[in-house]
Amino acid sequence: MTAEQLTRPAATFTGRSVRRKEDDRLLKAQGEFGDDTPLARPGYLVFVRSPYASARITRIDTSRAAQVPGYLDALLPAEVEELTDPFMELQPPPGDAEVDRCLASNGVVRFVGEPVVAVVADSREAARDVAAAVVVDYEPLPHVVDARVAIEESAPLVHEQVGTNVAFEATYDWGDVDFALANADHVVEVDELHFHRFSSTPLECTAITAEYDAGTDSFTFTGGFATPQLAVLNLVGALRHPASRLRVVSKDFGGSFGVKINNHIPATAAGLLARRLGRPIRWTETRTEHHYAGGHGNERWFRNVKLAVQDDGTVLGVTYDALDDIGAYSRYEPLGAVIWTQVANACYQFKHVKVRYRSVYTNKGPVHPNRGYSRMQHMWLVERMMDLAARKLGFDPVAFRLQNYVQPEQYPYTTVNGCVYDSGDLPRSLRTALDLIDYTGARALQEQARGTGRRIGIGIGSTLDSGTNNFAQARLLNAHIPFSGNTEGGLVRIGADGSIYATTGGVAFGQGHETTVAQVVADLLGVTYDEVHVQRGSDSSLSAQTGFSGSYASQFAVTGIGAIRNAALKLVREVQLVAAATLGATPEEIELHGGTARVITDPERALPLAAVAGIVHFSPAELPSAVADEVGLVGRAVYRAPFELPDLERKYGNLTLTYATQVHACVLEIDEETGEVSILRYAAVDDCGTPINPMIIQGQVHGATAHGISAALFEHFGYDADGQLSAANFYDYHAATAADLPSFAYGNVVSPSPFTPIGAKGMGEGGGAPLHAICAGIQDAVGEDGIVLESFSPPERVLRLLRGHNLEKARVTR
Amino acid sequence: MNVAGTITSSATPAQLHALGSDRGRLDGVGVLSDLVIDEVGLVRGRFTPTSVIKGTELDVVIRAGRVDAESAQLDVSGSRGPHRVDVALTIGYSPGEAGSRIAWSARVTVRGPLAGVGQRVVGDLATRAIGEVLEQAAAVADV
């Protein structure tokens, strides 16, 4: 028996659906969100934004704005050019010539909603009036809002100095797709598919407070920063300010789902104004602003798609050209150009994958990571092609998937590009989902509905939620980016009175980190869940963080919990040293149980943790000097994900540590007269390894499902030909409410990850599965009348599908 | 979108034509205020139509295009906060029974948040607002 096994108490909280620690304050409206904290002498920032998709700024007149009561200041683009450096770009030449600042750069606006002037007043209302009084003259320039047009030589350039609208281009070629296509029994071809833009729709839009202390020449930024250390790097670069005098803090914040990874951009403007005015500056984003500039999910065109299939139903591989419409600025892009390769195989045993991928600028709002970032688009394409192939070639859609899924006994499964799927049981997940929707009964219902004017469709959506990135993937974009691996930090300590404190480097925006951290720490320290105090929010100045700290890419259950666990184990060791010295035992003979450190073989010899704390904090002279010198009752540790550098030439290597699976199934009904889709039954089956808190997992699955269904049926950031966003607020943009959704049936399968400390996997990004399932369900209902080649299915499109939409775009060529 | 309208005026076509070179008279147009001619010859001011949503106030920039005895072309941009309306306005005036008949047409482009929800009502609002300012301008032309 190892020392760790000897001293680890049996888990009593981990794995249980304990009540969320956060909910008490949140449900009583006692949370502290970005706009809640009172400030002394605040200045309120409002951005004057571009109404043009592309235009030259010819004149800015703030003279009348300065007369508005309450006016404090106005920050102009020319000042930003002088006072800041452009934000860093990830892409190599020529895309690295892009210049991105907190206000429109080079005298040009590039999308509707781009900030042009930042004004400050002494009240929010006054700031709005000030902004309304700023007069900006524009000279409209040609614009491009369609990535397919943007790649043409004659297209207007979004960034003149880049010289092309292709920000990044790569060809990924694994296996031998050409051979597979040439020799497969069947080839299914589709000319073009389209994955649409939609919102992450965080409950709270962004709110940022910038404070500047002239005495110490230091900034503090408070707000929803999903990656605090990367935010620090971006802010110090832009503001030309030392990192040692810049702090990024978050308290409660209401959702991110990826988009709050770029909040350093508006924060830079707030920082400049805070320093200039000598007063705290607060910017509170409106929903309309969020829709314009807060970040859209990646829009992608898939062209010239081919799937190679054998007579026996074996799918050999897939190939396509991708045009990823990233909008006017790359920001976190073009990382999406490599992120999708984490799931190159999707859920299937492909041997050949070839993709030509281009990240394309258009005069639209920039994209930011959004739940299922970049992988969702690829997996939607694969799911559509699997669905179409089954239909076109006469395979049963269930059997076709079951046959081609990565099988349980194949894990760990190495994909075509060297990623390693850690564990899973997709066939069981699918069967569970089908049971939950009563698949057999649904097929009978489908038959009964024929000829009634209502069509029933059954859809399946299989997806992966890859978590814990290997940041070396950035080198696939640009070999000079010095990132690799992944780490997270954690801190667990015992205070002077024996209280237990835990601080994670992760950033919580609703995932229940305070709860899951407390569960794990409580078990390791042998105390109750309520005895562990977990710090709310994050603070870049605390030693709990590492460079990659934050919450993104479904990793907290692995990296955040891994770091906390390592930190707690260090603390356990310190407690053992103190207790052993005091109780006359060896450290290995000490276990932590029931709030005490006790001798395993003689439990009556025990010290309460408060007594251990008392000795260390107030009476260290009682301890042998070797122990007293070593022990501070602070466990600080890092979790390092075990990654290596990929082969850049082959674009081959493991890019992510865990793969949670989501298999969804739905039964839906189409009204032939209106095209309206109603979901009759919906099942989501999750497998994220060993659960830490099943209730939290189910809650995240529920949220992701609602988000995905909403995206499939209601949510779309459409632009008109003039580059105007047609859904700039919730009046025009419908995010599903409970009234739009069915009750979800939930099931779970547990396939522990062999690669993570407790077998858990990151999860919560399964938002793609509903898009896959609903598209498949609509296809099933439409039958041979049309082909679903768009991810967004509003009633008018469903009606077109019933009248032959897209039939000419897909075919079996062999 | 395209909108159009007609009004009648007691002013003669010549009087209407003269308005273009007599900016001082435009000070009498109640819905326009703070009119100035900027350094490049553009007319700037504020437009507060009473025939649309109360309190609507736009900063306007007017650029004259071709102007002759029978017609005038104007490019008008109105902005308020993040909203913007660009109007390419063509005005034709011909002799009427008691003065002139003014027929106008406009290509109205709405930008910013107004381009979303505002699209549903902007045609009616623009028609009223343009009609109102032209009626008032025609009235001062006859003074």
Average predicted confidence (pLDDT) for chain A: 96
| Residue A1 pLDDT | 38
Tens-digit pLDDT profile for residues A274-324: 999 999 999 999 999 999 999 999 999 999 999 999 999 999 999 999 999
- Closest by CA to A12, choosing from A661, A367, A532, is A532
Burial tier of A618 (Cβ tally within 10 Å: 0-12, 13-18, 19+):
exposed
Helix axes A768-782, A795-802, angle to 10 degrees: 40
* Residue-level pLDDT at B104: 96
Answer for the pair A807, A786: CB distance below 8 angstroms, yes or no.
Answer: yes
ipTM: 0.92
Residue of B nearest to A717 (CA): B116
Mean per-residue pLDDT, A96-113: 97
CB within 8 Å: B116 and A49: no
Chain A: residue nearest B44 by CA?
A: A135
Please state, in angstroms and rounded to a whole number, the distance separating the CA atoms of residues A599 and A585.
Answer: 7
| Interchain CB distance below 8 Å, A51 and B61 | no
pLDDT of residue B25: 82
Distance CA B71, CA B93 (A): 6
* Of residues B59, B61, B117, nearest to A732 (C-beta): B117
Question: A300: which strand partners?
Answer: A195, A324
Asked if A725's CB is within 8 angstroms of B111's CB, the reply is no
Q: Please report how the helices A694-713 and A768-782 are oriented relative to each other, as an axis angle in degrees rounded to 10.
A: 50
Query: For residue A718, what is the nearest residue in chain B, using CA coordinates?
Result: B116
Chain B residues with CB-CB distance to A135 below 8 A: 44, 59, 79
In a 3-state reduction of DSSP, which class is residue A639? strand
Structure token pair of residue A648: 């850049």
Q: How far, in Å, CA of A47 to CA of A272, rounded?
A: 14
pLDDT tens digits for A9-65? 567 999 999 999 999 999 999 999 999 999 999 999 999 999 999 999 999 999 999
Which residues, numbered 46 to 85 in chain B, qualify as contacts with chain A under a Cβ-Cβ cut-off of 8 Å? 59, 61, 77, 79-84
Mean pLDDT of A774-790: 98
Closest CA to A206 of A117, A111, A268, A283: A283
Task: In whole angstroms, give the CA distance from residue A562 to residue A568.
Answer: 10
Residues of A (97-126) whose Cβ lies below 8 Å from B: 112-113
pLDDT at residue A760 greater than cutoff 70: yes
Strand partners, A360: A166, A325
Closest Cβ opposite residue A135 in set B59, B83, B115: B59
User: What type of residue is A193?
Assistant: L
Q: Are A510 and A257 in contact (CB under 8 A)?
A: no
- Minimal C-alpha gap between B128 and chain A (Å): 23
**DSSP-derived pairing of the beta strands A677-687 and A744-748:** parallel
Do B111 and A724 count as a contact with CB atoms less than 8 A apart?
Answer: yes
pLDDT tens string for chain B (143 positions)?
A: 999 999 999 998 888 888 877 778 888 899 999 999 888 889 999 999 987 777 788 999 999 898 888 899 999 999 988 899 999 999 998 998 888 999 999 999 999 988 887 777 888 999 999 999 999 999 998 76
Cα–Cα distance, A8 to A526 (Å, whole number): 8
- Judged by CB atoms closer than 8 Å, whether chains meet at B115 and A728 is answered as yes
How far off is chain A from B112, nearest CA to CA, in Å?
A: 4
Q: Which of B59, B61, B114 to mutate to test the interface with A (most CBs of A within 10 A)?
A: B59
For residue B81, which residues of chain A lie inside 8 Å, CB to CB?
48, 128, 131-132
> Residues of A with CB below 8 A from B110's CB?
724
Q: Are A112 and A292 in contact (CB under 8 A)?
A: yes
Length of chain A: 814
- The sheet carrying A281-284 orders its strands as A71-75, A115-121, A43-49, A281-284, A207-213, A218-223, A246-250, A538-539
Q: Name the residue facing A51 among B44, B59, B83 (closest C-beta).
A: B83
User: What is the pLDDT confidence band of residue A5, given thresholds at 50, 70 and 90?
Assistant: very low
Q: What percentage of chain A reaches a pLDDT higher than 70?
A: 99
* pLDDT tens string A170-198: 999 999 999 999 999 999 999 999 999 99
Q: How far off is chain B from A48, nearest CA to CA, in Å? A: 6
Q: Which of A46, A64, A111, A112 to mutate to test the interface with B (most CBs of B within 10 A)?
A: A112
Q: Do A132 and B115 touch (CB under 8 A)?
A: no
DSSP A249-315: EE------TTGGG-THHHHHHHHHHHHHHTS-EEEE--HHHHHHHS-BPPEEEEEEEEEEE-TTS-E
Token pair 């993937």 is at which residue? A473
For residues A691-718, one letter each, b for 16 or more C-beta atoms within 10 angstroms of the residue's C-beta and e for the rest, the string is bbbbebbbbbbebbbbbbbbbbbbbbbb
Cα–Cα distances (Å) from A630 to A365, A457, A496, A620, A724, in that order, read: 54, 66, 17, 11, 63
Please give the average per-residue pLDDT across A111-138, as a whole number. Answer: 97
Q: What confidence category does residue A2 fall into, taking pLDDT thresholds of 50, 70 and 90?
A: very low
For A653-670, b/e burial (b = at least 16 CB within 10 A) is bbbbbbbbbbbbbbbbbb
Q: Do B117 and A731 touch (CB under 8 A)?
A: yes
Give the separation between CA B126 and CA B143, rounded to whole angstroms. Answer: 26
The answer to whether residue A135 neighbours chain B at the CB level (below 8 Å) is yes
Closest alpha carbon within chain B to A287: B113
Q: Is the pLDDT of residue A146 over 80?
A: yes
Q: What does each C-alpha distance from A812 to A381, A382, A453 come to in angstroms?
A: 17, 16, 30
Using pLDDT thresholds of 50, 70 and 90, give the confidence band for residue A8: very low
A 537-556 residues inside an 8 A Cβ radius of B: none
- Are the C-beta atoms of residues A664 and A700 closer than 8 Å to each other? no
pLDDT over 50 (residue A3):
no
Q: A with B: how many residue pairs have Cβ under 8 Å apart?
A: 57
| Token pair for A581 | 């010295």
Yes or no, beta carbons of B113 and A132 under 8 Å apart = no
CB A646 within 8 A of CB A476: yes
Q: Taking Cα atoms as reference points, which of A292, A241, A230 lies closest to residue A263?
A: A230
Residues in chain B with CB shorter than 8 Å from the CB of A294 are none
| pLDDT tops 50 at residue A591 | yes
Residue A235 above 90 pLDDT? Answer: yes
Cβ-defined contact of A724 to B116 (cutoff 8 Å): yes
Residue A720 contacts B where some CB pair is shorter than 8 Å? yes
pLDDT at B53: 75
Which residues in chain A touch residue B55, judged by CB atoms under 8 angstroms apart?
none
Dist CA A123 CA A131 (whole Å): 12
| Average pLDDT of the segment spanning A550-576 | 95
Report residue A221: phi and psi, to 5°: -110, 125
Contacts of B59 in chain A (CB under 8 A): 133, 135
The answer for residues whose C-beta is within 8 angstroms of residue A729's C-beta and 6 or more apart is A287, A288, A291, B113, B116, B117
List the B43-47 sheet strands across, edge first. B2-9, B99-111, B83-96, B71-80, B58-67, B43-47, B32-37
- Which residues of A672-755 form beta strands (DSSP E)? 677-687, 744-748
Q: Do the chains contact at B59 and A136, CB–CB below 8 Å?
A: no
Q: CA angle at residue A812 from A810 to A813, to 5 degrees? A: 115
Per DSSP, what are the bridge partners of residue A765? none
Cβ(B142)–Cβ(B10) below 8 Å: yes
DSSP, residue by residue, B62-80: EEEEEE-SSEEEEEEEEEE
Q: What pLDDT score was predicted for residue A306?
A: 98
Residue of A135, A733, A734 best to disrupt the B interface, most CBs of B under 10 A: A135
Edge-to-edge strand list for the sheet holding A532-534: A532-534, A500-504, A487-494, A634-640
Q: Which of A72, A71, A141, A149 is nearest to A104 (CA)?
A: A141
Asked if pLDDT for residue A330 goes beyond 50, the answer is: yes
CA A525 to chain centre: 32
Half-sphere exposure of A629 (CA within 13 A, CB side): 3
Find the distance separating the first CA and the last CA of chain B, reported in whole Å: 34
β-bridge pairing A352-361 and A315-327: parallel
Helices (H) and strands (E) counted in chain A, each on its own, are 22, 30
- Which residues in chain B have Cβ-Cβ distances shorter than 8 Å to A731? 116-117
Number of residues in chain B: 143
String of b and e for B101-123 (b: at least 16 CB within 10 Å)? bbebebebbbbbbbbbbbeeebe
Q: Using CA coordinates, name the residue in chain A closest to B83.
A: A51
E-state strands within A529-676: 532-534, 538-539, 590-593, 596-599, 602-608, 634-640, 656-671
Beta strands in A478-573 (DSSP E): 487-494, 500-504, 532-534, 538-539
Q: Residue A10 has what pLDDT?
A: 60
* Closest CA–CA distance from residue A115 to any residue of chain B (Å): 10
pLDDT at A451 over 50: yes
Distance CA(A243)–CA(A266), nearest Å, equals: 18
Q: Identify whether the C-beta of residue A462 lies closer than 8 Å to the C-beta of residue A404.
A: no
Find the range with the poorest average confidence among A578-582, A777-781, B58-62: B58-62
Predicted pLDDT at A580? 98
Q: Shortest Cα distance from A197 to chain B (angstroms)?
A: 16
